[in-house]
Amino acid sequence: MKNISEVLTGVKTMGIAGHIRPDGDCVGSCMALYLYVTEHFPEIDVRIYLDHPKPVFSHIDRIGDIRTETDGDREFDLFVTCDVSARDRLAVADEYFDRAKKTVCIDHHVSNPGFADINHVRGDVSSCCEVLYGLLDADKVDRPVAAAIYTGMIHDTGVFQYSSTSPETMRIAGELMKTGFEFNRIIDQSFYEKTYIQNQVMGRVLAESILLMNGACIIGYLRKKDMEFYGVDGKDLDGIVSQLRLTKGVEVAMFLYETETQTFKVSLRSNGHVDVSRIAVYFGGGGHTRAAGCDLQGSMYDVINNVTREIERQICMEKVR
């Protein structure tokens, strides 16, 4: 596609959805597309489905329009996924995707195999929100749409710190800021504001973290019983793996927490030499070169051993080169 309007011609009903446990890029891209279509294509009945977005995204206009479960036996003319790297990671409305007359996948994950009728996947771009911006008419991107896109861009670039940030990324961010939303407030709410409990949990993970491979790999973890003790869930753990990554001398940071008994969500971050997306894909997950994740079953030590084995293999290969 060159423009989203190419797939909207003749469409009367449209669905939009993202991946399980939606992050900022997922929520931002889905909401930006939703706001854009409702504003400029009012003849289309569009619905958005997401898996319980975090309260941190409450600044996005019409966030309350999100449906967190299916609502009847529907067949959409068009169904669009945003930031979904694989078919099995689509959340909430997967049955609608299967029944839709036409499907479109907009994404930026290098691991995306292309599972829709039309796949607009750019693995060289910082975020799905940046990919989406390239499909919109720039002069029609108003403040609400701009704020949603900016939200996704800062989340997937670590506020423009990651290597995926390009001059084009910064140019787009500048254009978005011209619409007048409070970009500094969005950054504070997304990355720096923590509740007292969240700070306690992060402190515990950092204090009990493990250094391996002569300091090249750091592991942080939370068991289910620990999460129950603090009264937190996955939504409260943002920023922990990124903080681990900042440890001096570390090549790869790994953070895992137990979602169910002996079921773990694993987040991986790299400082450059290790491609964590390859590791995540190997274990059935996905992501980017420097930020990826997967879900694994087994004891905590089995999960750590299995993942670190692949990390060590890459580190050793890099040393050989």
Task: Say what percent of the chain tops pLDDT 70.
Answer: 99
Whose CA is closest to 30, among 75, 67, 1?
Answer: 67
Q: Which two tokens stand for residue 238?
A: 């943002």
Residue for token digits 């961010």? 173
Each residue's pLDDT tens digit, 260-284:
999 999 999 999 889 999 999 999 9
CATH class of 196-320: alpha beta
Residues with Cβ within 8 Å of 78's Cβ and at least 6 positions away in sequence, in order, are 7, 8, 11, 13, 14, 15, 100, 101, 102, 103, 104
Each residue's pLDDT tens digit, 39-98:
999 999 999 999 999 889 999 999 999 999 999 999 999 999 999 999 999 999 999 999
Q: Enumerate the H helices of the chain as residue ranges.
A: 5-8, 24-40, 94-99, 128-133, 143-157, 167-177, 183-187, 196-207, 224-230, 240-245, 276-282, 300-320
pLDDT at 321 over 80: no
pLDDT of res. 318: 74
DSSP state of 77: S
User: The CATH number of 5-192 is which of 3.40.190.10, 3.40.50.620, 1.10.1040.10, 3.90.1640.10?
Assistant: 3.90.1640.10
Residues of the chain with CATH 3.90.1640.10: 5-192
CA of residue 132 relative to chain centroid, distance: 14
Collapsing DSSP states into helix, strand and coil, what is residue 67? strand
Residues of the chain with CATH 3.10.310.30: 196-320
